[in-house]
Structure 1
Amino acid sequence: MDSDSARGIGRRQLVKWGGLAAAGVPLAKAVPPATRPVDAYDRYIAQLAADGKFSGVVLLSHRGRTVLSRSYGLADRERGIRNHEGISFSLSSAGKPFGPLAVLQLAQQGRLQLSDPVGKHLTGFAKEVAEQVTIHHLIAGASGLDTPDEDVQRVFRSRSEVHEYYEQRARQAKLVGIPGLPSTTHEEAGVTIPALIVEAVTGQSYWDYVEENVFRRAGMTGTAFYTRPQWLADKRIAHPYMTLADGSIVDAVRNLDQSSSDPWVLGKNPARCFIASPGDGGFATAPDLVRFARALTDGTLLERPWADVLMGAKFPHGPASFGAYGLAVEIVGGQWIWERAGANPGVGANWSIYPDTGWVGVILSNTDGAPLQDMIGQETLAVTGVAPGQGSGG
């Protein structure tokens, strides 16, 4: 049910949302910024919130030290709960890299190979899919598969119902392209099938495997694949506020009968899915995503050579931007940026890792209207001193 933020994942292809977000006030005083660009980024976010265009949390960390942390707006308007660092936000497609990461953990252990075809681990797929499409093709976004349209109006009532629906949908995928060539369409089966392979190899559900071997190992205590009942009941989970066709704003979790009017995600309501589909989504706090970034680079989640495999450029998306396994990598100001964004009605999320300089940036929003693409650009300018697209290779 998550909407991909790029054709995938590049910053320049992020979904732009209409409508207004709830304004708020800073809840956490940051460590005094060390540079004027960070000051400018802080003022920019504050102005967005004051103008009603941002509700959520932004965080900048440098080598483990929080340089900027700001929270605006309400996580739950009905209960008057403010956003803060301890609030978990829906990640939408920003949670997709957890799947390739799980696959590489198993490859590191020798329990699968990236060259394995789908049919080595799963049954019930068309012959050409089972024999020609490999795990590498899937997690690189180059499977050539086309998936049947999603029933965005369906309201799911259990984990098993979600799993059965997305598994059947993935098995109906047809090979319409050439495996190994980057796709120009959103390959949803390329997200679900690797999750099914993780389940076949480990004997665990995808959700349980990732929570145990990614979230817990990285110390991400506020990150999980929460269910809709948890979304409703837990005061630590932000509700998504989506804009309807008449301009009104509703809590998506409490109004499953209401749908987004945004043409990019027309008819969707992210809360209709009882739990994120296998390989997608999840919820996280901003500090947890900083912990995730650290665990990716210090050997906690993958041995360093395997982390390099995850982040290594696979296909060019632009002059200095590339697709990797489930995320985008880009060269800006002579340094790498690893990142993943996601968007859905009432949801905006992005995490960026600047491995050469030790910075991590997080943006989490729970209303429509946040200019996520521009926010990412301002973050990059604050960290690198270069706007995206300017001097990318320098």
Structure 2
Amino acid sequence: MDHNASIDRRRLLGWGGLAAAGVVAGTSLVGAQPGHADQAPADDHRIPPDTLPGGAYDRYVAQLAAQGRFSGVVLLSHHGRTVLSRSYGMADREKGIANHEGTAFSLSSAGKPFHAVAILQLAQQGRLRLSDTVGDHLKGFAKDIAEQVTVHHLLSGTSGLDSPAEDVQRVFQSRDEVHEYYEQRARQAKLAGVPGSPDAAHEEAEVTISALIVEAVTGTTYWDYAQENIFRRCGMTGSAFYTRPQWLTDAHIAHPYMTLADGSVVDAIRNLDKSSPDQDVLGKNPGRAFIDAPGDGGFATAPDLVRFARALGDGTLLDRPWADVLTAPKIPHGPGSFGSYGIPVSIVNGQWMYQRAGGNPGVGANWDIYPYTGWVGVILGNGGDVPLREMIGQEMQAITGAPAGGGTGG
């Protein structure tokens, strides 16, 4: 990742969203040739020229790829119609498999909103309340956590919990081992602040505890619940909580290419002994997980994320009032930037933008929803140097016309 993006990655991927990260919609790059796009709808005057094939955003991404700075897929969709779809680089270099629109990429934290959707589905059904405490659904937590921390606190990142350090070197061998480790880690969390007080970064324990509540209420694993009630309901046929054996063998899943301290690049999933030198993800290797932690991650294709975005707005996943509860701004993080339930929301050039990013060694993922105008933007990368923050700014500028040099919060 480039130096500036590396500096701001933690703020970008946390609850601060884009405004807290200081995203700037920069000047478009020119000179690269268009890649492989679907035909854009030419009969709609509402399509900004910069979003079209051959437009500013297309040329910018093509130049990134030509410079070796982007491997992955970008997609722009307007009211469900693909305006721009580009694929660059290799999903599996060893097997010669190229990235394409149907390639599934690791989402990292860009998959965290799924657990918030799951909780709100259960709230909509009357099976839990957002005012319920942890102790209303789970046993064995410390008394102060069980009695004071509510579901709302967990989803909004205001629990006051402090998570213990993660063992990033551990190589997991089963779903049960992953579940046991993250549940134990969540139970070791301490109440370090006052529940309800704003926090700039979501604690991992909040995500895990939310997933454990889903499991306690439904009697199934979080992974299986989300697969059935989110992915399947949306028609996300290329998306799942894939395991490491599937990551190694399934030709439609992109491998993460991680940059090492000496500048060399390795397939992280095939080199579990190698670790990232990046300070934001120091010592990590995403392949060491057998499956993503409960409440986190997952894999998705770009078209599937568009389906997810549209399902949030058309009643497929949540009735409209509950969808509004999901995205309503709750915690201010900066001018025009707020935390909601799992999805940072920002005011960009006079319109709302819902956004979630994720990053890991060899992984860069982001999806943006512009509900006022029907746009959805997806960026999925499988290289360690993807300038995700910069790419989000360029996409935002192409869609909203936000001026170069302008942040998301105005």
Question: Is the TM value for this pair above 0.5?
Answer: yes
For residue 370 of structure 1, give the secondary structure of its aligned residue in structure 2: coil
Aligned pair count reads: 386
- 2:145 — aligned with what? 129
2:83 to 61, 67, 78: 67
For residues 375-386 of structure 1, the aligned pairs below 5 Å read 375-386=391-402
1:192-213 Cα offsets, whole Å, 9 max, x none, are 0000000000000000000000
The corresponding residue for 1:42 is 58
Q: Which amino acid aligns with 1:138?
A: L
SS of 1:129 mapped into structure 2: helix
Q: CA RMSD in A?
A: 2.0
Q: TM-score under structure 1 normalisation? A: 0.94
Distance 1:5 1:268 in 2: 18
What's the counterpart of residue 148 of structure 1?
164
Find the aligned partners of 2:195 and 2:288 in 1 and give their Cα distance. Answer: 32
- 2:345 is matched with 329
CA distance in 1, matches of 2:293, 2:22: 20
Identify the residue that residue 117 of structure 2 maps to in structure 1. 101
Structure 1 residue 37 displacement after superposition: 1.9
2:4 alignment counterpart: none
Q: Which amino acid aligns with 1:36?
A: P
Give 3-state SS (helix, strand or coil) of 1:216's partner. Answer: helix
What's the offset of the Cα at 1:370?
A: 1.2
Distance across 1 between alignment mates of 2:11 and 2:220:
26
- Over 3 Å counting, the alpha-carbon distance change for 1:267 and 1:24 in structure 2 is farther
2:209 matches 1:193: yes
The separation in 2 between residues aligned to 1:350 and 1:14, in whole angstroms, is 14
Residues 81 and 25 of structure 1, relative CA distance in 2, 3 Å threshold:
farther
Partner of 1:162 in structure 2?
178
Quick one: distance in 1 between partners of 2:188 and 2:201?
16
Q: Which ranges in structure 1 are unaligned for 5 or more consecutive residues? A: 17-22
- Give, in angstroms, the shift of residue 184 of structure 1: 3.6
Q: Which amino acid aligns with 2:290?
A: F
User: Residues 5-16 of structure 1 correspond to what in structure 2 (within 5 A)?
Assistant: 5-8=12-15, 10-12=17-19
Q: CA deviation at 1:259?
A: 0.4
**Whole-angstrom distance in 1 between the partners of 2:275 and 2:349:** 41
Which 10-residue stretch deviates more, 181-190 or 130-139?
181-190
TM-score when scaled to structure 2? 0.91
Give the CA deviation at 1:334: 0.8
SS, match of residue 57 in structure 2: helix
Which has the higher mean CA deviation after the structures are superposed, 32-41 or 129-138? 32-41
Give the corresponding residue for 2:6. Answer: none
Q: Which runs of 5+ in 2 are unaligned?
A: 1-9, 24-31
Alpha carbons 1:4, 1:93 under 8 Å: kept: no
Contact 1:31/1:66 (<8 A) preserved: yes
Match for 2:398: what amino acid? Answer: A
1:110 and 2:117 aligned: no
Distance 1:387 1:279, change over 3 A: farther
| Alpha-carbon contact 1:321-1:328 (below 8 Å) kept | yes
- The one-letter code of the counterpart of 2:132 is D
CA contact (8 A) 2:71 2:381 kept: yes
Report the AA paired with residue 35 of structure 1. Answer: P
Deviations 1:214-266 (A, max 9, x none): 00000000010000000000000000000011111000000001000111111
Give the drift of 1:392. Answer: 5.5
- Is the alpha carbon distance of 1:191 and 1:145 closer, same or farther for their aligned partners in structure 2, counting shifts above 3 Å? same
Match of 2:258 among 239, 242, 255: 242
Bigger Cα displacement from structure 2, 222-231 vs 7-16: 7-16
